[in-house]
Amino acid sequence: MAAAFVGALTVFLAPDEWAGRLAFAISLVPFVGSLYLWSGFEAGGNALLGGEIAYATQIEWLEVGGRSVSWFVGLDGISLPLFVLTTFLVPLAILSAWTPVDTRQSQFYGLMLFMEANLLGVFAALDFFLWFVFWEAVLVPMYFLIGIWGGPRRKYAAIKFFVYTNAASLLMFIGFMSLVFALGDSVSSFALPEIAQAIAAGDLGTWFGIPPDRIAMVAFLAMFLGFAVKVPIVPFHTWLPDAHVQAPTPASVLLAGVLLKMGTYALLRFNFTMLPEQASMLAIPIAAIAVVSVIYGAMLALAQKDLKRIVAYSSVSSMGYVILGLVVFTEYGVGGATFQMVAHGLISGLMFMAVGVIYNATHTRMVGDMAGMADRMPVTVGILVAGAFGYMGLPLMAGFAGEFFIFVGSLSAPALPYAPVFTALAMFGIVIVAGYLLSAMQSTLFGPFELETDYEVGPAAFHDVAPLAVLLVAIIVLGVAPDIFFEMIRDAAVPVVEGVTIDG
Amino acid sequence: MVNGLPAVTALLPALILAFTGLALLLVDTVRPDARSNTSMAVVGAFGSLAALAATVWLTASGGVSPDGGAVLLFADAIKVDTLALFFTAIFASVTALVLVAAHDYFHDHANPAAFYSLVTFAATGMALLAVANSLAVVFVALEMVSLPSYVLVAYLKQDRGSVEAGMKYFLVGALSSAIFLFGISLVYAATGSLILADIASASIEGLAGVLGVGVVMMIGGVAFKTASVPFHFWAPEAYEGAPAPVSAFLSSASKAAGFVVAFRVFTEAFPLEMAVSANVDWMLAFAVLAAVTMTLGNFAAAVQEEVKRMLAYSSIGHAGYALIGVAALTVDGPANGTVMGAAMAHLLVYGFMNTGAFLFVAMAERWGVGRTFEDYAGLARRAPVASTAMAVFMFSLAGLPPFAGFFSKYFLFQAAIDNGFLWLAGLGAINSVVSLYYYSRVVKALWLDDPESSSALDAIDVRPTALYAAVIFAAVATVLLLPGFGPVIETAEAAASALF
């Protein structure tokens, strides 16, 4: 993280000509660092529920109203995969930026690295204040990335993104604060484990005359709405297509690959881990929202003509699976949801990058304008098709593993009534996904090349294709051997699930 | 604690500032025709940094009094304690920033020498205000701040706007000085003393009404200095017309000087218990002032078209936030020290971010770009570093989490809630959301909008080094205050708690 911060500053001040290469080199440092953390990872259980925290560091920072705030970071089985995912995606995203980004390069790469540092902070922070600082700090570089380097309607998209997510953060902040206030003197810090355990121990008290269970419910709803915007779940998804379509490719990659995971990660950490009782009370509506997100997102994607919009809307759909996995509260559901976060991060990153490469070559993303791309850019197209299969959940790819775990978990969910019905409906989403992806692929990629251009459309440069290939390999590796992450995820997911069975 | 030093050492920061001002004046008198802009700026900046160093040293070593407490000097008329030192640190930092920045701003001014000494004298007055323990000293120090300020606002005497602003400032200032002085005299009539502690312990039988009127008039004086409603009318005019470094100085340092009066005089001379029992409920008055000030300031800022004017109104809004520090006090309130400490910390953070923002405006004036949001469009292309700094200031002023402004605001609102002022904190939060709108307009103009014509940016070839340095330093301070917020808030809370 420190490397990314310092790197961001260095790149920001570096001249444009070699900013890209420098940024790429710097971004490898956190990646290697995270691999090192991974190799030495030995933690058990969930960080918030008394589990062992790997690489925990806690330094006193300051005190607010009798509660201390500290620089408290650490990783457990849920955060480590996302941590690695972030450090893995950023170098690739930077690589994919070499071709399209041609103005104000040092600023661009500086912001990318700055965002990486804050993203890592979000996943590692175990103190609410620290976490919130990082959480909000992610918005600032993204706002600039969309607003400066984005498409034609970039300003609108950037401001919409900023206002939406910021309002959501405020709501979430209020929700969480009401919990802390209601806990009163039983917590002495803003450390998330302490708060989570205090809530689990039933220390919620009355605050301003409001009974504890109502506070918990209000806080749950406020936080849920706050995170739902970030995820995003229907009907809070409207900022996403705008932001995605207007954002430059590398920013889209991070937006879909990592930023959306912040929402589901936070949902898991805050809503489902801290307030499992409220979550199971609201299980049916939440599952309904999840299924609606899956189906509706897929239907919207079906109706799009813009390749990037298709991928963007299908993110809404994929995130619906994650929510479904969370709400069923089974070992495989929660674990699968976390796994799906990583898988979707890789797959959507791949898709956005591939679409970006095609766009660079053809200057269009419209499905109707293109045909026969496969002739001109065989490697890129091949990878795009493979990625699309991954999206559809083809076995032996990461997407399949994630969705499979979720469905296994949700079919037999004690916490969710009518679980099989919800699962079946959600599975139907896969059919739609396959439908629209195949039809989009069919019309853009195959057949005779028809696009009339006054420039040469040829194979993409090596540094454009390389990140795609690396991602594809990662997707297949995760699909073939999901255990490299799933074991540790399950380790951390089980305590969350147990929290429900004890309470309800 | 630094033993073995005479007690007057405690006044070191103020003395350093005073001597710096005198030295600057002396040089100018001996060689009035010399264009000594650079050396003046250097001497002035070093003087104020020396004052800052002395302040930090005194704070860190626990002061010069043997028991580590306050030092009383000159028949109790002066009282040096942590509260005073904390505010002196704000004054000295802002002064240093302003003096460095002024070097470039006045690069082609015929005779800038007087500017530097006037700023240092005003800073001396502020430092004196911070240690004043007698209403007489308060008044003298207040005038010592005000008189140079009037001149400074009108410093560009060829510029009609500047002169007009100075005139307005002077008229309102003279009026409120008179009101303040009359308030003091009424308080003296009711209590028979000018020393704050004696006022608190005086018997006021049958004279509570006189005292009450006196207190209300003093509130008026404070409201003027802090640019709070209803004495805020001068502020947008003066800030807009004045040279931008002066606007920075007035809206950060001079405002903080107003607050030190509010914090010390009202809590020490009219303790909460006495105020309530004598029906002189100044907390309520301040609560109303705070609510009205922040709302009016923020909403007026939202409709401005000129950046400098927007900053001026937002500065009124921030006065409203800081007023929470005296508004959210209750008798035996559990968080009295915390809420006032939080307000002080906010003023410190504000000192950097607001000064920085005005200095950026100064830089834009130096570049010759216009004053409206549209004129700022696309500046980031030619000046990315300065524009980043400006984005930091704007987001921090709006209270976005990654920056120090978030913490200082959060502490303030949280302390207000702890003291039972949920409505005031809520209003503050709503206002912060409003403020995000107009602050982000600046960022949008700088970074996202395209300049009207490519030639609009040509003027930016000028690189005012010192201004750049000052702006960047302020930005770095704004960011670094976030991790370093612990000692700041602890010092502030300790200083404030000593008042209760």
CB B100 within 8 A of CB B469: yes
Mutation choice for A interface testing from B346, B400, B485 by most A CBs within 10 A? B400
pLDDT in tens, B318-375: 888 888 878 777 777 677 777 888 888 888 888 888 888 888 888 887 777 777 777 7
Task: For residues A391 and A387, give the distance between their C-alpha atoms in angstroms, rounded to a whole number.
Answer: 6
A62 and B418 within 8 Å at the Cβ level: the answer is no
pLDDT class of A5 with cuts at 50, 70, 90: low
Q: Chain B contacts of A155, Cβ < 8 Å?
A: 444, 448-449
Q: Which member of B388, B411, B444 has the closest CB to residue A64? A: B411
pLDDT class of A504 with cuts at 50, 70, 90: very low
Q: How far is B220 from chain A (nearest CA, A)?
A: 32
pLDDT computed for residue A63 by the predictor: 64
Angle in degrees, 0-180, between the axes of helices A378-392 and A331-362, rounded to the nearest 10: 150
Residue B133 has pLDDT above 70, yes or no: yes
pLDDT class of A43 with cuts at 50, 70, 90: low
- In A66-104, which residue ranges form alpha helices assigned H by DSSP? 79-96
Tell me the backbone φ, ψ of residue B278, rounded to 5 degrees.
-95, 10
Max distance between CA atoms of chain A, in angstroms, equals: 71
Residue A3 has pLDDT above 60, yes or no: no
Task: For residues B232 and B285, give the distance between their C-alpha atoms in angstroms, rounded to a whole number.
Answer: 16
A133 and B482 within 8 Å at the Cβ level: the answer is yes
Q: How far is A71 from chain B (nearest CA, A)?
A: 9
- In B328-383, which residue ranges form alpha helices assigned H by DSSP? 336-367, 379-382
Residue B143 has pLDDT above 80, yes or no: yes
State mean pLDDT over A62-66: 62
Is A132 part of the contact surface with chain B (CB cutoff 8 Å)? yes
pLDDT class of B1 with cuts at 50, 70, 90: very low
pLDDT class of B99 with cuts at 50, 70, 90: confident
Q: For strands B78-80 and B71-73, give the pairing.
A: antiparallel
Mutation choice for A interface testing from B390, B408, B447, B493 by most A CBs within 10 A? B447
State mean pLDDT over A427-439: 80
B401 and A107 within 8 Å at the Cβ level: the answer is no
Whole-number average pLDDT of chain B: 79
pLDDT class of B212 with cuts at 50, 70, 90: confident
Higher pLDDT, B124 or B499: B124
Enter the pTM of the model.
0.79
Q: Which member of B406, B433, B448 has the closest CB to residue A147? A: B448
pLDDT in tens, B409-424: 888 888 887 777 778 8
State mean pLDDT over A275-286: 80
Residue A209 has pLDDT above 70, yes or no: no
pLDDT computed for residue A169 by the predictor: 83
Residue of A nearest to B419 (CA): A65
pLDDT in tens, A118-150: 888 788 888 888 888 888 888 888 888 887 777
B414 and A64 within 8 Å at the Cβ level: the answer is yes
Residue A444 has pLDDT above 60, yes or no: yes
Q: Which member of B406, B418, B422 has the closest CB to residue A65? A: B418
pLDDT computed for residue B373 by the predictor: 75
pLDDT class of B290 with cuts at 50, 70, 90: confident
Q: How far is A415 from chain B (nearest CA, A)?
A: 37
Which residues, other chains included, contact A494 with Cβ-Cβ below 8 Å and sequence gap of 6+?
A45, A46, A331
pLDDT in tens, A377-405: 777 788 888 878 777 777 777 777 777 78
Is A172 part of the contact surface with chain B (CB cutoff 8 Å)? no
A208 and B483 within 8 Å at the Cβ level: the answer is no
pLDDT class of A503 with cuts at 50, 70, 90: very low
Choice among A15-24, A410-419, A455-464, B269-278 with the minimum mean pLDDT: A15-24
State mean pLDDT over B395-407: 78
Choice among B33-37, B210-214, B393-397 with the minimum mean pLDDT: B33-37
Is A146 part of the contact surface with chain B (CB cutoff 8 Å)? no
Highest-pLDDT range among A333-347, B3-17, B395-409 = A333-347
Is A483 part of the contact surface with chain B (CB cutoff 8 Å)? no
Residue B274 has pLDDT above 80, yes or no: no
Which residues, other chains included, contact B277 with Cβ-Cβ below 8 Å and sequence gap of 6+?
none
Beta bridge partners of A207: A210
B448 and A154 within 8 Å at the Cβ level: the answer is yes
State mean pLDDT over B274-281: 68
Whole-number average pLDDT of chain A: 76
State mean pLDDT over A467-493: 78
Q: Please identify among residues 3-22 of chain A the ones whose CB lies closer than 8 Å to any CB of chain B.
A: 12-13
Task: For residues B98 and B52, give the distance between their C-alpha atoms in angstroms, rounded to a whole number.
Answer: 14
Q: How far is B454 from chain A (nearest CA, A)?
A: 16
CB B162 within 8 A of CB B153: yes
B→A interface, C-beta within 8 Å: 335, 338, 381, 384-385, 388, 391, 395, 400-402, 406-407, 410-411, 414-415, 417-418, 422, 433, 436, 440, 444, 447-449, 482-483, 485-486, 489-490
pLDDT class of A451 with cuts at 50, 70, 90: low
Q: How far is B389 from chain A (nearest CA, A)?
A: 13
A166 and B436 within 8 Å at the Cβ level: the answer is yes
Question: Number of A:B CB contacts under 8 A?
Answer: 63
Find the distance separating the first CA and the last CA of chain A, reported in whole Å. Answer: 40
Q: Chain A contacts of B386, Cβ < 8 Å?
A: none
Q: Chain B contacts of A132, Cβ < 8 Å?
A: 401
Task: For residues B145 and B126, give the distance between their C-alpha atoms in angstroms, rounded to a whole number.
Answer: 6
pLDDT class of B294 with cuts at 50, 70, 90: confident
Within 13 Å and on the Cβ side, how many CA atoms surround A491? 23
Residue of A nearest to B408 (CA): A64
Residue A13 has pLDDT above 70, yes or no: no
Q: Chain B contacts of A158, Cβ < 8 Å?
A: 448
pLDDT computed for residue A502 by the predictor: 42
Q: How far is B445 from chain A (nearest CA, A)?
A: 10
Vertex A422, ends A420 and A424: CA angle to 5°?
65
Q: Chain B contacts of A148, Cβ < 8 Å?
A: 447-448
Mutation choice for B interface testing from A68, A72, A143 by most B CBs within 10 A? A143
Is A156 part of the contact surface with chain B (CB cutoff 8 Å)? no
Q: Chain A contacts of B395, Cβ < 8 Å?
A: 140
